[in-house]
Amino acid sequence: MTDYISEYKKKTKGSVKLFDKSLKFHVNGVSHNIRFFEPYPFVVKSSSGKNLVDVDNNKYTDYWMGHWSLILGHGPKPVKDAVKKQIEKSWMYGTVNEQTIKLSELISKAVPVAEKIRYVTSGTEATMYAVRLARSVTGKNIIAKIDGGWHGYTSDLLKSVNWPFTESESTGVVNEEKIVSIPFNDFEKSLEILKKVSNDLAGIIIEPVLGGGGCIPANADYLKGIQEFCKKNNSLFILDEIVTGFRFRFGCLYPTMNLDPDIVTLGKIVGGGMPIGVMCGKKEIMEYSNTKGKKKTERSYIGGGTFSANPMSMTSGFATLTELKSGKTIYSKINSLGDFVRKEITKVFDGKVIVTGKGSLFMTHFVKDGVTEVINSSQAAKCDTSLLNKYHFKMIAHDGIFFLPGKLGAISNAHTKEDIKKMINATENFQE
């Protein structure tokens, strides 16, 4: 490890200087907690295709891909062209605009639940409103989430995010007793917990593939069971597809599991790398947010904000989805590269790892403490996360390959099989 740190320090002399400056202005030098890694993160000056370039001109093949939002890679031409054209017209209207309607037409055709759509500027905001809407619609208070589920920093969902899922994640958050958490992929135990709060349960929010919680796909029967419980209990079933929406196919993941959620949240890919969050829902549910003809005691007062549905995000989202829709081979290509990478990393580590994921998302878990499967966040947390950090850091320092240490990797359309083979090669050379 020490060698890799010296190697990293030698090649990132410009970054360290700039990061020292960043520390003066920003807590821990960053504007998103997860962007910090030891000894200091390199500072990026540009990106293109599959690559990030830092201020010392080091090039990294990127598997972080803008928090997994850049499915077409950095700055893909059709998106860049559309954004340039829009910027000529202007970048902020603060009014209803054509660009929004175009994006909504695409989303509503691909996502059956999107009978009505509301745009915001982050996934955090989208899940915050989804929770509020569920409470308004049902007149109940409690929201259930998954142990290890991540829905952004929304106060209402900032519980049971990190192992051991029992301590509060933060001071300054109130009414945490209104959030309960259930174990992923364990229907019996989840049901036990849900039954205890059923009278006051407004909704359940779940990611169909746990992202931050370990890149773990949900079992379809588990989600079906949870959905059925919600329907019987008059609680809303909310799927957070901010990571999974348009990641594996043109649309959401839920139709492939025959699910029928009440609300779906989207973000990341549908903004094509510009700020976005989206709430999609059935008409009768979304209408609770209609301020026309509804008393304060009846409505759910949900946003936007200044920058919601801004023409830049709408344009880059529309161009990205258009490209995904017309590029018939994109999904089959990146999904099969994902299958390849899972198989090869598993082979290289020969019994020491479990590689989880789906399609173009993957994560390596170094097993320890008798873990034999990773189907929930507890098992993921019991794996050797410091070894995963070492493995990722080695690739940053030595191989010009970037994973945000400890996080899942995302393959974009800009990656090739050659890139994946290089990463496998770098994996073979990793020594603990």
Ligand X SMILES: Cc1ncc(COP(=O)(O)O)c(C=O)c1O
Instruction: Point out which residues bind ligand X (CB under 6 A).
Output: 67, 122-124, 127, 150-152, 207, 211-212, 240, 242-243, 267, 277
Count other C-beta atoms under 10 Å from residue 192's C-beta.
12
Between CA 84 and CA 77 the distance in angstroms is 10
> Residue 352 CB, nearest distance to ligand X (Å)?
27
> Residue 304 CB, nearest distance to ligand X (Å)?
14
- For 218, half-sphere exposure in the C-beta direction (CA atoms, 13 angstrom radius) is 32
> Residue 243 CB, nearest distance to ligand X (Å)?
5
The full 3-state SS of 130-154, as one line of letters, equals: HHHHHHHHHCCCEEEEECCCCCCCC
> Residue 268 CB, nearest distance to ligand X (Å)?
7
Nearer to ligand X, 243 or 324 (CB): 243
Between CA 99 and CA 310 the distance in angstroms is 8
Q: What residue number has its CB nearest to ligand X?
A: 123
Nearer to ligand X, 211 or 338 (CB): 211
> Residue 360 CB, nearest distance to ligand X (Å)?
15
Nearer to ligand X, 208 or 426 (CB): 208
Q: CA separation (Å) from 354 to 163, 222, 248?
A: 19, 21, 21
> Residue 381 CB, nearest distance to ligand X (Å)?
17
Nearer to ligand X, 100 or 265 (CB): 265
Nearer to ligand X, 151 or 342 (CB): 151
Nearer to ligand X, 12 or 124 (CB): 124
> Residue 111 CB, nearest distance to ligand X (Å)?
16
The residues pairing with 44 across neighbouring beta strands, listed in sequence order, are: 54
Nearer to ligand X, 8 or 150 (CB): 150
Nearer to ligand X, 348 or 375 (CB): 375
The set of residues, in sequence order, having a beta carbon less than 8 Å from that of 148 and lying 6+ positions away, is 160, 161, 162, 163, 165, 184, 210, 212, 213, 214, 376, 377, 378, 380, 381
Between CA 254 and CA 241 the distance in angstroms is 9
> Residue 10 CB, nearest distance to ligand X (Å)?
32
Say if residues 1 and 390 touch (Cβ distance below 8 Å): yes
**What's the sign of the alpha-carbon dihedral 422, 427, 431, 432?**
positive
Angle between helices 187-196 and 220-233 (to 10 degrees): 20
The full 3-state SS of 363-396, as one line of letters, equals: EEEECCCCCCCCCCHHHHHHCCHHHHHHHHHHHH
Count other C-beta atoms under 10 Å from residue 283's C-beta.
8
